Amino acid sequence: MNIFFTVHGLPSCAMEDEECRDRLMHPDLPEDPRYHARAVDGEKSSAYWLNQGKKFVETKTTTPLNKKKAKNVIMFLGDGMGLTTTAAARNLLGGEHSELSFEKFPHVGLAKTYAVDKIVSDSANTATAYLCGVKTLYGTLGVNGMVERGNCRAMLDKANHVSSIAQWAIDAGKSAGVVTTTRITHASPAGAYAHISERDWEDDTEVVKACGRDSGIDDIALQLIHGETGGKFKVMMGGGRRHFVDSSLQKKGKRSDGRNLIDEFKSQSPRNAYVETKEELANLNLQEVDRVLGLFHDSHFDFHLDTDVESSTQPTLEEMTRRTIELLSQDDNGYFVFIEGGRIDSAHHDNTPRKALDETVEFSKAIQLAREMTSEDDTLIVVTADHSHAFSFNGYPYRGSDIFAASPTKPNDKIPMMVLSYSNGPGYEKFYDAINGVRHDPTTLMKGQPNDVYPATFPRDSETHGGEDVAVYASGPWSHLFTGVYEQNAIPHMMAYALCVGKGLKACD
C-alpha cells in the first residue's frame, strides 16, 4: 500500500520519495509584501545581526557574577507558562522581537517538571518541588512520595511532611507571604504552607466528604490561618474567600464547621488587617499593620480581559506586588515571598489563548515593577513556571502578522488552520464535525474576542498540561546558579543558598 503526502498547491509525494517529502517539510510559501515593513529597521543587512551578536557577547562577558548574600527572595510563578506561551506573548508587546520583562534577566536555565509517579505533572506536586525541594506524587501538597493522593491516614504522619522555603525563611527570622490571582488555597500558593494528600481539600467540607468529620485533617484554608507556616505569614493575597467562611454565615461560603476564618484572623491581633477591594488595599496604612489578608474574590480572580479596570474591585497582580513589597520591606531582616500569575493556566485549560497570553503580559508587568522596586544587590528574583501546556504555535506565519489569525500554510483539506492550537481540549468539538469527518473553517467561527476558543486535536472538557521542561529566569545575588538543566526541586535549594536559610549549603557559610 502506497502512502502519499501532500501540501496544498504542491504535488503528492510517495512515502519512499524522501527528496519530495523534504520539500513538503519546508514549503516555499508565497511572499506577502504587507508584512515586509513590519521587520525592524536594518534586519535585512548582515551588519544588524553581526552587531547584535557581538553586543550580546560583550554584555555576557562584562556582567560580573553577583555573589552577595541575598536579603530578600521574590519567586514569581507563571502557572502553565511554557516556552510556547512566552514566545507567543511577545507578539502582544509589539512583535516577536519584543521581550517580556523577565526575559531581560541575565541568567536562564531549564527545570524538569515530572512527578514521582507521572511524566506530565500538576500544580500541586510541582509546588512541592519548587517550594519544598522534594518531588512527590501528582495531586499532593507538602508531603513526600510516601503519601498517596487522597490517603486520609498517611498524611497525618508528620514524618511525611516537607517544609517550604517560606518556613525556612521564617525560621531564620525573615518575613514571608504568598500572593496569587487564583484562590489562595489553590495548589500553587498552598505549596508554601500546606501539608495535605489532596489538593482539592481547600475547606473542611471537602475533607469531611473524603475522610469523615473526625479525621483530624486540617483543610488548606485552616492551615493558612492557623498552621505552623501560614499562621506566621505577613502577607496573604488572592481569591478563594468562599473557603474561609461557613455556608450559614455567607451565601457563597463552602465551610460546614460553623467557622469564619476571616474573623478568626482579625481577632488574632488588632494589627492584623483584612481587605476585600483594591481601594481598601491601596488605602491601607502599612505602618499600622503587621499582617495583611486580602481575599478579593469568592473563587479565582476574573481574567484581566474580562474586567473593566476602572470599575473592577479586584487589584491587578502588579498592584498587589507593589503593596506586598512595601509591607515586607519594613522587615530589616528581609523576606521571602511567592507571587503567582495563576490564570495563565486556567485560560489554556479552556483553549482560550487570547486570555492566556494577556495574563502572561500582566504577569510580566508585576515582575518589572518588582525589579524596579528592589535592588539587584540584595534581592534575588526568580521567575519560572510549574509546567507547560499542550499549546502549539506553528504554521510559518509571516513576521508582524496576527498570531491569533489563520496560518498562511494550507492543510491538505484546503480549510484554513490557525497559528495557535492545542493538542486537546474543548476546542475539538467546535471545529470538527466528527459525524461527517470534516473540519469547520475556524476563520468563520472566530470573533476576535477574549472568549474565542481555539482548535484542539482531541476532545476533552479541559485541556491537559504539557510535559516539557520550563524556563527559569533569575536576577540578583547568586542568580548565576540557575543556569543549566536541573530537576525542579533544586530551585528552592538554590534560593535558600542565596538567602542563607534552611539546612543545606548557604552562601554565608
Give the model confidence (pLDDT) of 170-204 as tens digits: 999 999 999 999 999 999 999 999 999 999 999 99
**Catalytic residue status for 123:** yes
Establish whether 197 is an annotated binding residue: no
Residues 232-249: tens digit of each pLDDT: 999 999 999 999 999 999
Which of 123, 197, 407, 479 is flagged as catalytic?
123
Establish whether 377 is an annotated binding residue: no
Element holding 364 (H helix, E strand): helix 353-373
Supply the pLDDT for residue 101: 98
Supply the pLDDT for residue 9: 46
Supply the pLDDT for residue 13: 77
Establish whether 279 is an annotated binding residue: no
CA distance 246 to 251: 9
Establish whether 349 is an annotated binding residue: yes
Q: How far is CA 232 from CA 182, 184, 272, in A?
A: 21, 15, 11
Establish whether 304 is an annotated binding residue: no
Supply the pLDDT for residue 277: 98
The one-digit pLDDT tens for each residue of the chain (509 residues) are: 344 444 444 456 776 787 777 777 777 777 776 665 566 788 889 999 999 999 999 999 999 999 999 999 999 999 999 999 999 999 999 999 999 999 999 999 999 999 999 999 999 999 999 999 999 999 999 999 999 999 999 999 999 999 999 999 999 999 999 999 999 999 999 999 999 999 999 999 999 999 999 999 999 999 999 999 999 999 999 999 999 999 999 999 999 999 999 999 999 999 999 999 999 999 999 999 999 999 999 999 999 999 998 889 999 999 999 999 999 999 999 999 999 999 999 999 999 999 999 999 999 999 999 999 999 999 999 999 999 999 999 999 988 889 999 999 989 999 999 999 999 999 999 999 999 999 999 999 999 999 999 999 999 999 999 999 999 999 999 999 999 999 999 999 999 999 999 999 999 98
Supply the pLDDT for residue 33: 64
Task: Please name the amino acid found at residue 123.
Answer: S
Supply the pLDDT for residue 68: 97
Classify 23 as helix, strand or coil: helix
The grid coordinates listed for 28 are: 516555499
Supply the pLDDT for residue 11: 55
Tell whether pTM > 0.85.
yes
328 contacts 169 by C-beta, under 8 angstroms: no
Give buried/exposed letters for 119-155 (b at 16+ CB in 10 A, else e): ebbbbbbbbbbbbbbbbbbbbbbbbbbebbbbbbeeb
